[in-house]
Amino acid sequence: MTDERIVIGAGTKYSLDGILTIPNHLDHLLPAVVLVHGSGPSDMDEKIGNNYPFKDLAEGLSERGIAVLRYNKRTFVYGKEMAKDSGLSVKEETIEDAVLASALLRSDSRIDPSKIFIIGHSLGGMLAPRIDAEGGDFAGLIIMGGSPRKLEEIMMDQSNDAFNSLNMLLKIIAKKQIAALSSRFANIYNLSDEEAKSTKVVGKYTTAYYFKEMGEHPSIEYLRGLNKPVLILQGDKDFHVSVEKDFKDYQKLLGDMPNVTFKLYSNLNHLFMPYVYGKILKMKKEYNVAQHVDKQVIRDISDWIFSN
């Protein structure tokens, strides 16, 4: 395979460095994928601790004949200046660049324009249907560790999971913090856009508008109206999203749609790597263990792409 340096949004305010990994055997037009990050600032390899899931996906899929485009997330490069924007939403943070990435692949004469797919991980998986609808126009969608629920619901579940693992003294402190966060989330859809932009809900910068704008574009509504192929993947040791509340909800909501395929992997975590501790409070330790995306996951993704 060959790694080619590319730029997403060249000439715009937010140009982003990236890599297009191309298989060496070019005797036919290639299928391709765009990789879309999870939440938070992230580089093109989606580096988390000592793990590089997007690099693993790029190399693994390219070995199997699929071109892969990955790039630095906008908030990874321009986070300080974007933090000042109270109207920041997932559109500016993620969607616009993923659409530009799909257009870049379409302009490449080596790529089959009818075989360009999106792989969204975590938040990127939740946004994949909207990215497709807002200009990505992909041949199919692959959702890894995503959720049909609202982002704030997932965050509250993560907070409660962490709370249940604390000792009694820390629980007293955390209980008030969680109650305050729950109260802020409960009111976001009662706010006007301008009110939401002036209301901080998480940390110093993240406003209610970020959650409100995303929540008003529920991914499940896009998926229900979709007839193109969709592959939904999750590890059963994922402590960021839940098998019961997320994977099984996808099955319940979309299970009667013939275009949707589901795969649940035993003993894999949110990065689709073997789990170590399996607890959200040990997340940092879990991801500090250097591992690789499970080869069966890569095989399943490539097989599915070639079958569609």
Phi, psi of 104 (to 5 degrees): -65, -40
- CA nearest 247: which of 117, 144, 177, 156? 144
Residue 73 lies in a domain: yes
Across the range 173-180, mean pLDDT stands at 66
More confident residue, 126 or 158: 126
Active site residues: 122, 238, 270
pLDDT at 38: 95
Specify whether 303 is located in the same domain as 165.
no
Q: Using alpha carbons only, what angle is made at residue 116 by residues 115 and 122, rounded to the nearest 5 degrees?
A: 135
Label residue 172 by pLDDT band (50, 70, 90).
Answer: low
Whether 213 maps to a domain, the answer reads no
CB 164: neighbour CB atoms within 10 A? 11
More confident residue, 230 or 277: 230
93 and 163 housed in the same domain: no
71 is a domain residue: yes
Q: What are phi and psi of 142, to 5 degrees?
A: -120, 120
Same domain, 16 and 114: yes
Can you give the pLDDT at residue 281? 76
Same domain, 238 and 259: yes
Same domain, 249 and 185: no
Q: Quick check: 268 pLDDT over 70?
A: yes
133 has a pLDDT exceeding 70: yes
Residue 283 confidence (pLDDT) = 86
Whether 284 and 158 map to the same domain: the answer is no
In a domain, 70, yes or no: yes
Instruction: Please state at what angle helix 96-106 crosses helix 123-131, rounded to 10 degrees.
Output: 60
For the ranges 148-157, 192-201, 244-253, the lowest mean pLDDT is seen at: 148-157
Supply the pTM of this predicted model.
Answer: 0.93
Structural domain including 233 reads 2-149+218-307
Q: Which residues of 149-161 are buried (b: 16+ CB within 10 A; e: fewer)?
A: bbbbebbbbbbee
Domain boundary among 187, 207, 227: 207
Choice among 1-5, 94-98, 118-122 with the minimum mean pLDDT: 1-5
59 and 197 belong to one structural domain: no
If DSSP states are collapsed to H, E and C, what string results for the chain? CEEEEEEECCCCCCCEEEEEEECCCCCCCEEEEEEECCCCCCCCCCCECCECHHHHHHHHHHHCCCEEEEECCHHHHHHHHHCCCCCCCHHHHHHHHHHHHHHHHHCCCCEEEEEEEEEEECHHHHHHHHHHHHHHCCCEEEEECCCCCCHHHHHHHHHHHHHHCCCHHHHHHHHHHHHHHHHHHHCHHHCCHHHHHCCEEECCCEEHHHHHHHHCCCHHHHHHCCCCCEEEEEECCCCCCCHHHHHHHHHHHHCCCCCEEEEEECCECCCCCECCCCCHHHHHHHHHCCCCCCHHHHHHHHHHHHHC
pLDDT average, residue stretch 232-248: 95
The mean pLDDT value for 72-85 works out to 92
What's the confidence (pLDDT) of residue 170?
Answer: 61
Which of 168-177, 199-208, 250-259 holds the top average pLDDT? 250-259
Q: For residue 124, what pLDDT is reported? A: 97
| Per-residue pLDDT, 167 | 56
Q: Do residues 295 and 237 share a domain?
A: yes
Which residue in the block uniquely carries the two structure tokens 């360009």?
116
pLDDT mean over 117-127: 97
CATH number, domain with residue 78:
3.40.50.1820
Same domain, 36 and 126: yes
Residue 168, pLDDT above cutoff 90: no
Q: Is residue 123 one of the residues assigned to a domain?
A: yes
Residue 202 lies in a domain: yes
Per the prediction, the chain carries an average pLDDT of 92
Band (pLDDT 50/70/90 cuts) for residue 280 is: confident
Indicate whether 134 and 15 sit together in one domain: yes
Looking at the structure of the chain, the number of domains it has is 2
* Domain annotation covers residue 196: yes
* pLDDT of 55 higher than 90: yes
User: Do 109 and 236 have their domain in common?
Assistant: yes
Could you tell me if residue 212 is inside a domain?
no
Asked if residue 239 and residue 181 are part of one domain, the reply reads no
Q: Answer yes or no: is pLDDT of 163 > 60.
A: no
Rounded mean pLDDT of 126-136?
A: 97
Please give the pLDDT value at position 238: 94
Q: Residue 174 has what pLDDT?
A: 61
Residue 147 has pLDDT above 80, yes or no: yes
